[in-house]
Structure 1
């Protein structure tokens, strides 16, 4: 099938979009256990960027699992496909000139490495939201851990399925030791140089 796909040369390029937006585009990937604070922090980082006139879009389980990936379960092979599709969607958004914020458990190292391959290393910022399983269970905002402990949820990361923590993330946030405002500032400070266009 791939040999019959012929790319079309569009008149508006990625560079044109970057120049129009006056900033670079890339993917900020938030990984961590359920309840670690990924979506909360990603949301605050997006708001901070939006206030700086940065064109952004956030991806998380709510807008992915209910739509494009509603045919996937939480079995290991489906988790891998879930992340692959998200990476491909992110890649299109990067081409569109957006800073993409993606908050997903993404428990497997190989899947996160595949994201890096799809969007290219230069476009990938890995943020590890490092929150202990005990704290995540204490928060249990969605009641998932309680259901997992009761056997109602299978393949729950941290309970009945593994989480392979990043060994060398670009940024590590320990939510139990750092105020959320400081975490958000650290992330924004880290990515600010990446936003600058090379010709500036």
Structure 2
């Protein structure tokens, strides 16, 4: 890699953020499959857009259609999936965007490695703490049913562990409050950061 260098540009993140009148941040939504990560992130994106903010939602399923289409669900592939998403997120933050990333990301160590890639004030971990039994009742893709039947191996929450965050900036249980209340909680948190 000695023949590759980083090219500095005349326009930097601060200038882009000033033009957009916003501070770039990443909200990393983590939780079990079916917990409501994508729904919550999508609703927040809509609200921020209504408020004149420029965002981008990186959804786990959508990313696996393109950037990570060559990856499976082994631990090695999951780590590579998260690494790629992290790198894309860094570029989007440099562009001045508010990034909403919705992924299972099952291990604390994995999420800590992601967190370390960003300045502390830019990374916001949102634990979507919806109970497993609710996630299984929802089962929007039928994955829990397949995992329980042994058709999917190493499914997070069934035969592969999910380590809930210990120090997430926000914790939201999508089975308790209405979606608009959850979104307002996130917006209020972002506003408190400036």
TM-score range, shorter chain: over 0.9
Secondary structure in 2 matching 1:58:
strand
**In structure 1, how many angstroms separate the alpha carbons of the residues matched to 2:61 and 2:72?**
14
Secondary structure in 1 matching 2:99:
strand
RMSD: 1.1
- Report the count of equivalent residues: 194
Please give the residue correspondences for 1:81-92 in structure 2 after superposition, counting only pairs within 5 Å.
81-92=80-91
Match for residue 165 of structure 1? 164
**In structure 1, how many angstroms separate the alpha carbons of the residues matched to 2:6 and 2:104?**
33
Match for residue 26 of structure 1? 25
What TM-score do you get using the length of structure 1 for normalisation? 0.93
Match for residue 77 of structure 1? 76
Large movers: runs of 4+ above 3 Å: none
CA deviation string 1:145-191 (max 9, x = no partner): 01111111111101111000001110100122222211111011001
Secondary structure in 1 matching 2:116:
helix
Q: CA deviation at 1:38?
A: 0.4
**In structure 1, how many angstroms separate the alpha carbons of the residues matched to 2:50 and 2:24?**
16
Match for residue 56 of structure 1? 55
**In structure 2, how many angstroms separate the alpha carbons of the residues matched to 1:91 and 1:119?**
8
Match for residue 98 of structure 2? 99
Q: CA deviation at 1:5?
A: 2.1
CA deviation string 1:51-82 (max 9, x = no partner): 11101000012321111111111111211111
Structure 2 unaligned residues grouped into runs of 5+? none
Please give the residue correspondences for 1:4-153 in structure 2 after superposition, counting only pairs within 5 Å.
4-153=3-152
**In structure 1, how many angstroms separate the alpha carbons of the residues matched to 2:10 and 2:94?**
14
Is the deviation greater in 149-158 or in 36-45?
Answer: 149-158
Would you say the 8 A contact 1:128–1:171 is kept in 2? Answer: yes
Q: CA deviation at 1:110?
A: 0.9
**In structure 1, how many angstroms separate the alpha carbons of the residues matched to 2:174 and 2:122?**
25
Please give the residue correspondences for 1:178-193 in structure 2 after superposition, counting only pairs within 5 Å.
178-193=177-192
Is the deviation greater in 17-26 or in 175-184?
Answer: 175-184
**In structure 2, how many angstroms separate the alpha carbons of the residues matched to 1:98 and 1:21?**
8
**In structure 2, how many angstroms separate the alpha carbons of the residues matched to 1:21 and 1:139?**
38
What TM-score do you get using the length of structure 2 for normalisation? 0.96
Q: CA deviation at 1:13?
A: 1.2
